[in-house]
Amino acid sequence: MSEQLTPMPSTAPDELMLVITRHFEAPIQTVWSALTDLNQAPAWWGPHGFHVPRETIEADFEVGGRYRACMVQEETGQRLWWSGIHTRIEPPTTFEYTYAWDNEDGTRGYETEVAIKLEEEAGGTRMTFTPVSYTHLDVYKRQATAAAGARPLTGWQPT
pLDDT digits (tens, 9 = 90+) for 6-20: 444 444 455 556 788
Task: Please tell me whether residue 113 adopts helix, strand or coil conformation.
Answer: strand
d(CA 17, CA 156): 17
- 116 burial type by CB count under 10 A (0-12 exposed, 13-18 middle, 19+ buried): buried
Second CATH level (architecture) for the domain 17-147: 2-Layer Sandwich (3.30)
d(CA 97, CA 114): 5
pTM: 0.73
Give the model's pLDDT for residue 82.
94
Compute CA distances 66 → 9, 60, 86, 128, 144, whole Å: 36, 6, 6, 22, 22
Give the model's pLDDT for residue 15.
56
Give the model's pLDDT for residue 14.
53
Q: What angle do CA 115, 113, 84 make, to 5 degrees?
A: 105
Give the model's pLDDT for residue 8.
44
Give the model's pLDDT for residue 83.
96
Provide the residue ranges of all domains of the chain, joining segments of one domain with +: 17-147
Give the model's pLDDT for residue 6.
44
Give the model's pLDDT for residue 1.
44
d(CA 77, CA 79): 6
Residues of the chain with pLDDT under 50: 1-12, 151-159
